Structure 1
Amino acid sequence: MNVHAPTEDKIDDIKDRLYEELEHVFDKFPKYPMKILLGEFSAKVGREDIFKPTIGNESLHEISNDNAVRVVNFATSKSLTAKSTMFPRRNIHKFTWTSPDGKIHNQIDHILLDRRRHSSILDVRSFRAADCDTDHYLVVAKVKERLAVSKQTVHSVYMTRFNLKKLNELEGKEQYRVEISNRFAALENLDTEVDVNTAWETIREDIKMSAKESLGYYGPKKHKPWFDEGCSKLLDQRKQAKLQWLQGPNELNWDNLNNIRRETNRHFRNKKREYLKDKIDELARNSKIKNIRDLYTGISDFKSGYQPSSNLVKDENGDLLADSHNILNRWRNYFSQLLNVHRVSDVRQTEIRRAQPLIPHPSPFEVESAFAKLKLYKSPASDQIPTEFIQAGGEIFCSKIQDLITYI
């Protein structure tokens, strides 16, 4: 859990509300997994003897302030320890905040951990050279945790995403047809000695290899597409200016750092505005030409922010479940209530009809019509062949599938 506490000069009511909410959320955590609280507690923890079982002997400060007393009381009530004040370090590696003039140094960012798992954190220190454009330093903890080996074997299938957008272009579609035609031309005609499964595996691999050669795959999605080489150079300049200020905290270096910060932030704002303007213009064009798919895709990119993936689920009371056995029971009960609407005796048995023994072979027109009726923009099955590949295959592809169906 990440915590951002009020500063020392805030009134007690604000602090009380924070710790009440913190306790309410903390109590909802599962009991067994390791719990870590970290963030800016605005607490200057001292080295008082009464606090040593919770905070240790290596704090930067001698006397605790009011926020520190609140942190220690909360940690004691929840069987937590402050690992950020338990490792012997030089003072420069204990600082977590420095005043703008470089004269005041405080240790106000802390890491709290379960007391029974206190040995899982091996070290905690601050890194002054990490450039985050803030007056706080980066606090890094080295964690060692024993993970239970899952007894259940999970079979995951890696699905490659082909660049289907190229099929909308005439050149890309024609290149795909030429590639797949050349590969199919090398195949021998199906005869009675060829296994159906082997023939289909060969056709499927030819389709995938043709798509790979002509279309390629989707590239990784950039978190910030507007971030270019100019932004990277400005970040390097800001980092060098900060290192100069850390090595010589004088007024000249501080003014130089502020100037580079302002220039960097201004450049970032302008680049982001240009990117957003281009995206909005693209959405307007898609709306004008009735390109609904790309329109909604662009809108969802704007609306969706950070979406962490989690395996946790909630029970009937809204509490989180982390144990795999409890999660499985929760899903079982949920689907049991959702799907078991009728009794088994109320469900009519579907009459099974067998195919007629003599069915005429499908004509090329029927195969082509069946391909045209397939829905687009659907996720492919385990064979990883989207509908777009089938419809863009051309006459040779239809002929090859017709021969396979006829042989079956």
Structure 2
Amino acid sequence: MSSTRFPHKRIHKGTWIAPGGRTVNQIDHIMIQKRFSNSINDVKSLRGADCDSDHFLVRASMRIKLKRIRRTANSQNKYCLDSLKDPEVLIKYQSEIERSIEIEPPEEVQGNIDVNWKQCKEVILNVTARTLKKKQKKDKVWFNSECREKLEERKQARDQWLNNIVDETLKQHYYTLRRETQIFLRQKKRQYYNNTLAEAEDDFHHHRARQMYQNLKKATQPFKRRETLVKDKEGNMLTNEERISERWVEYFADLLNAEEPQMKLECSRPDTVDREVPPPTLEEIQETIGKLKNNKACGEDQIYAELIKKGGSELVYRIQHLVDRIWEQETMPEEWK
């Protein structure tokens, strides 16, 4: 029981105020295994932490070494692709693509496929960066500056009451502000959800299905925290990073190393293919590009399908030139492998 080991002032020992407001008891404790008891440096109650409860926050200071989880930074640029539906933006984008292609003609030296592809990719990315705006993350949360002011006002009233806990006037003032703050926060949250649902209804009437489902998901989906733990075969939770890695190796080893099937399937030999097959025509390439699906994640090249579909005829000619080189040399750019 670590809560009773450290000497503190009386105000730092109590963890709960009785409903009358005059009695303070220590009913919340921090427990730890005996083998780790030396890791606890200090345990005390924090009266200043306002969490709208009759319990005080209990803080424990520990001396422990934890491994840091390094997260790789996502440098992917996200652009407002919906702006390509604007005729003015679309004309500017296609004209910039055409002008850039004229400045950088296809590489003809030894039919270098990698250089051809890099030129094509750089044209698309550079023009996109010049003509389209980057997406700005808009946090339409209900908690705003007014909510912060209400909480700060409640906190000040609480601190005044704790400094003079026998004063009934300060107590009633604090409880009044506490009740008003709860009502105000509920109203703000309800107003935010009503506005979100109103936006979803407006998207439905204007046939914006994607935006409608995004708003519905925002209004109904609960908060999901990032899961970093896995279970072993017995169902026990693993927290150690090395054991988690070993568990993943074990899982995929059991999944992929299956038993050899008893019945073997016999496949007939494929028919020989005529090697003199002409490369895809311009019409076939245009048809294939038109079948690309919108609103899909891009690959490592950071090129979205919409950027190719809206690129215009000059971009299609450049892609056909690249496909012809690939068809003739029977190889692909290194970035495609």
Q: Using the alignment, how far apart are the partners of 2:41 and 2:268 within structure 1? A: 63
Partner residue in 1 for 2:329? none
Contact 2:17/2:23 (8 A) holds in 1: yes
Letter in 2 for 1:367: I
Count of aligned pairs: 320
Partner residue in 2 for 1:270? 187
Partner residue in 2 for 1:301? 218
Partner residue in 2 for 1:329? 250
Letter in 1 for 2:63: K
Partner residue in 2 for 1:402? 320
**Deviation readout 1:17-74 (Å, 9 max, x if unpaired):** xxxxxxxxxxxxxxxxxxxxxxxxxxxxxxxxxxxxxx2xxxxxxxxxxxxxxxxxxx
Q: Using the alignment, how far apart are the partners of 2:100 and 2:63 within structure 1? A: 52
Structure 1 residue 390: deviation in Å?
2.0
Q: Using the alignment, how far apart are the partners of 1:350 and 1:241 within structure 2? A: 84
Contact 1:162/1:215 (8 A) holds in 2: no
Contact 1:312/1:327 (8 A) holds in 2: no
Q: Using the alignment, how far apart are the partners of 1:130 and 1:180 within structure 2? A: 58
Q: Using the alignment, how far apart are the partners of 1:164 and 1:362 within structure 2? A: 32
Letter in 2 for 1:265: Q
Q: Alpha carbon RMSD of aligned pairs, Å?
A: 3.6
Counterpart among 33, 47, 65 of residue 128 in structure 1? 47
Q: Please state if 1:95 is matched with 2:14.
A: yes
Q: How does 1:308-387 map to 2 (within 5 A)?
A: 308-315=225-232, 318-322=235-239, 323-324=243-244, 325-336=246-257, 342=261, 345-346=264-265, 348=267, 351=270, 356-357=275-276, 359-360=278-279, 362-363=281-282, 365-387=283-305
TM-score (norm 1): 0.65
Letter in 2 for 1:245: W
Partner residue in 1 for 2:117? 200
Q: 1:330 to 1:404 in 2, by over 3 A?
A: closer
**Deviation readout 1:251-274 (Å, 9 max, x if unpaired):** 222222223223322222222222
Contact 2:196/2:219 (8 A) holds in 1: no
Q: How does 1:166-205 map to 2 (within 5 A)?
A: 166-167=82-83, 169-170=85-86, 173=90, 176-177=93-94, 180=97, 183-184=100-101, 186-192=103-109, 195-205=112-122
SS at match of 1:113: coil
Contact 2:232/2:247 (8 A) holds in 1: no
Q: Using the alignment, how far apart are the partners of 2:214 and 2:203 within structure 1? A: 10
Partner residue in 1 for 2:34? 115
Partner residue in 1 for 2:163? 247
Counterpart among 195, 202, 207 of residue 285 in structure 1? 202
Q: 1:316 to 1:258 in 2, by over 3 A?
A: same
Letter in 2 for 1:128: R
Contact 2:76/2:302 (8 A) holds in 1: yes
Structure 1 residue 226: deviation in Å?
1.3
TM-score (norm 2): 0.77
Contact 2:279/2:324 (8 A) holds in 1: no
Contact 2:290/2:309 (8 A) holds in 1: yes
Contact 1:164/1:388 (8 A) holds in 2: no
Q: Using the alignment, how far apart are the partners of 1:198 and 1:308 within structure 2? A: 44
Letter in 2 for 1:248: N
Q: How does 1:226-245 map to 2 (within 5 A)?
A: 226-245=142-161
Letter in 2 for 1:94: K
Q: 1:255 to 1:400 in 2, by over 3 A?
A: farther
Q: 1:202 to 1:109 in 2, by over 3 A?
A: farther
Q: 1:109 to 1:172 in 2, by over 3 A?
A: farther
Letter in 2 for 1:90: K
Which range moved further: 172-181 or 292-301? Answer: 172-181
Structure 1 residue 248: deviation in Å?
2.9
Q: Using the alignment, how far apart are the partners of 1:243 and 1:377 within structure 2? A: 52
- Which gives a bigger RCO, structure 1 or 2 (Cα 8 Å, sep 6+)? 2
Letter in 1 for 2:161: W
Q: 1:143 to 1:265 in 2, by over 3 A?
A: same
Which range moved further: 368-377 or 156-165? Answer: 156-165
Structure 1 residue 165: deviation in Å?
5.5
Structure 1 residue 113: deviation in Å?
2.2
Q: Using the alignment, how far apart are the partners of 2:231 and 2:271 within structure 1? A: 41
Q: Using the alignment, how far apart are the partners of 1:144 and 1:264 within structure 2? A: 38
Q: 1:149 to 1:133 in 2, by over 3 A?
A: closer
Q: Using the alignment, how far apart are the partners of 2:15 and 2:269 within structure 1? A: 70
Gaps of 5+ in 2: 327-337
Contact 2:79/2:133 (8 A) holds in 1: yes
SS at match of 1:111: coil
Contact 2:96/2:127 (8 A) holds in 1: yes
Which range moved further: 271-280 or 245-254? Answer: 245-254
